[in-house]
Amino acid sequence: MIDIEGQPILTAAEMRAAEDAVIACGVSVETLMNRAGTAIAHVVRRLAGVNEVLILCGPGNNGGDGYVAARVLAEMGATVRVAALSKPKTAAAKSARAGWSGVVETLAEAKPAPIIVDALFGTGLTRPLDAEPVPTLSRSPADAGAQLSSKGYPDGLLCAPASAGEQTVVGRLHFLANAAQLRIAVDLPSGLGTDSGQALSKPPVFNLTLALGAVKPAHLLQPAARYCGHIRLLDIGVPTTSQAEVLKPPTLANPGPDAHKYTRGMLAVIAGIMSGASDLAALAAMRAGAGYVTLLGDTAGPPHALVRTPFSDHALANDRIGALVIGPGLGRDGIARSRLEAALTSNHPLIIDGDALRLLDPERIKALKVPVILTPHAGEFDALFGKSDADKITRAREAAVLTNAVVVFKGADTVIAAPDGRVRIAQGASDWLSTAGTGDVLAGAIGAMLAAGLDPLDAACAGVWLHGDAARRLGPAFIADDLAEALRSARGAL
């Protein structure tokens, strides 16, 4: 199993294209499926020990992976059962099914097991499962003692029309998952939209998801990601490349003997009507490693290392400023507008956050000749770029092209997009980040990275990484002030 940090993220179509390229070189789908199923079996075997394993197989190649895994597990001496939603539809899945010599129970009647493996649906899911009836035996009195057909199917396995009170696929999946001690999903929990990250049908929450060949957007985008549990990549010999990658720890240089406050980067933060927010951004920048932070506005108070300066065009014109943060606590009044105008014409690299985004014309950003990083949350993004049903990756990419800026589309699934199409997506942000001021802290952390001279995408990625890692280190119930302080330990861990 491979950790997914830094790994390429492929859509369903990109994954199929990568598979097709390998198949075109003479590697059959069956071979890929055998690699996938064998890799799954080895992981399940290690985790299951002597516990019975129930593998739920769907009609496509995800199900095919399940049949191969069952066969290999049985060959390893594991106690394994298979339950099928319906007969395999693809040639590869039929071949995999033929390789399983055991009984195939029906999903409708399978009894629970301590370990459940979901191989019902993967990247081929195209519609919600909820409406799907669970095929049941056409049990009539004559069939009550139905024998197994030559194919190992219980006689009479039909897709009987769902009737009132009959179980749905999702209902059976939840029932069997709830009864299991360990829940493992093959490629994706069944019910998730691979590219959109939407839950077409709400799956159970799994302990582990084994991504086959590549990470998919649903492993990172919400709400899908919350059903995946731990995500590990299984290499099945399909080369993959993508402009989208899972965010990984940044490589940041520590100061050397020749360092001084300006070489480490001078950041200016423009204050507004809510000085606490800009204070948080300034403190965050200092804790993230900025060499010199000046807060431009009418503020007062600790820390002493923070240089508080009245806002003026002169102060803004300091050519030692490496980057400028505007937005935290700015407000939207006339003073805010005039300070935004001054920032846009300052020729400093910019991080534009919070209220400043509400005052901004995206077209204005495109015309700037300096690096710009925008850090909208969902509401600010909609206000700036309009609402859309498109997935978060597509939206962030389009916004980056429209503004020619790096866009940090914040959320429980933060997507960072550059105008050239590169995308980085952060894993598993702490839910405790849902507290006032954490956005201000992020703006300051990114500002410190930009002021230190990182290119805008790297600066945004480093800031998002430090912000997320600081939150992880803090655990529960922290406030934004704690988060700003914790950037120090996150920075020190790199």
Ligand X SMILES: NC(=O)C1=CN([C@@H]2O[C@H](COP(=O)(O)OP(=O)(O)OC[C@H]3O[C@@H](n4cnc5c(N)ncnc54)[C@H](O)[C@@H]3O)[C@@H](O)[C@H]2O)[C@H](O)CC1
Give yes or no for residue 90 binding ligand X (CB under 6 A): yes
> Which tokens is 282 given?
């300034």
272 binds, among K ion, ligand X, none (CB under 5 to 8 A by kind): none
Distance, CA of 409 to CA of 414 (rounded, Å): 6
Residue pair 393/417 in contact by the 8 Å Cβ criterion: yes
> Which tokens is 352 given?
């534009």
Give yes or no for residue 132 binding ligand X (CB under 6 A): yes
Give exposure, 443-468, as e/b (b: 16+ Cβ within 10 Å): bbbbbbbbbbebebbbbbbbbbbbbb
Distance (Å) of CA 82 to CA 57, 69, 144, 152, 442: 7, 10, 21, 11, 48
Among 14, 65, 118, 413, binds ligand X (CB under 6 A): 65
Residue pair 64/89 in contact by the 8 Å Cβ criterion: no
Segments of 321-453 assigned E as strands: 323-326, 350-353, 372-375, 406-409, 415-417, 423-425
Provide the angle, in degrees to the nearest 10, between the axes of the packed helices 61-75 and 29-48.
50
Q: Which stretch binds ligand X (CB under 6 A): 74-82, 118-126, 243-251, 344-352?
A: 118-126
Shortest Å, Cβ 238 to K ion: 18
> Which tokens is 223 given?
């709400």
64 binds, among K ion, ligand X, none (CB under 5 to 8 A by kind): ligand X
Shortest Å, Cβ 60 to K ion: 10
Shortest Å, Cβ 63 to ligand X: 6
Distance (Å) of CA 285 to CA 189, 323, 370, 466, 472: 39, 11, 20, 11, 18
14 or 118: CB nearest K ion: 118
118 or 391: CB nearest K ion: 118
Q: Which stretch binds ligand X (CB under 6 A): 122-130, 257-265, 297-305, 371-379?
A: 122-130
Among 9, 32, 218, 408, binds ligand X (CB under 6 A): 32
Residue pair 106/138 in contact by the 8 Å Cβ criterion: no
Give yes or no for residue 64 binding ligand X (CB under 6 A): yes
Shortest Å, Cβ 4 to K ion: 17
Give yes or no for residue 118 binding ligand X (CB under 6 A): no
221 or 293: CB nearest ligand X: 221
Shortest Å, Cβ 249 to ligand X: 26
At residue 447's C-alpha, the angle toward residues 471 and 486, to 5°, is 25
Give yes or no for residue 469 binding ligand X (CB under 6 A): no
59 binds, among K ion, ligand X, none (CB under 5 to 8 A by kind): ligand X
Contact map string, positions 238 to 267, toward ligand X, x by CB under 6 A: x-----------------------------
Shortest Å, Cβ 120 to K ion: 5
DSSP per residue, 182-241: EEEEESS-TTB-TTT--BSS-PPPPSEEEEESSB-GGGTSTTGGGGT-EEEEE--S----
> Which tokens is 349 given?
């690299």
Size of site (CB under 6 A) for ligand X: 30
Residue pair 316/260 in contact by the 8 Å Cβ criterion: no
Closest CA to 55 of 39, 42, 44, 43: 44
32 binds, among ligand X, K ion, none (CB under 5 to 8 A by kind): ligand X
Give yes or no for residue 381 binding ligand X (CB under 6 A): no
187 or 245: CB nearest ligand X: 187
Shortest Å, Cβ 58 to K ion: 7
Shortest Å, Cβ 246 to ligand X: 16
Shortest Å, Cβ 241 to ligand X: 14
Among 40, 41, 69, 125, binds ligand X (CB under 6 A): 125
| Beta strand 157-158 pairing with 182-186 | unpaired
118 binds, among K ion, ligand X, none (CB under 5 to 8 A by kind): K ion
Closest CA to 69 of 25, 15, 33: 33
Binding residues (CB under 5 A) for K ion: these are 118, 122, 185-186, 190
Half-sphere exposure of 131 (CA within 13 A, CB side): 4
Contacts to ligand X from residues 41-60, by CB under 6 A: 58-60
Contacts to ligand X from residues 161-220, by CB under 6 A: 186-187, 212-213
Q: What is the enclosing helix (H) or strand (E) of 19?
A: helix 12-24
Q: Which stretch binds ligand X (CB under 6 A): 61-69, 218-226, 413-421, 470-478?
A: 61-69
124 or 331: CB nearest ligand X: 124
Which residues lie near ligand X (CB under 6 A)?
15, 19, 29, 32-33, 36, 58-65, 90, 121-127, 129, 132, 186-187, 212-213, 236, 238
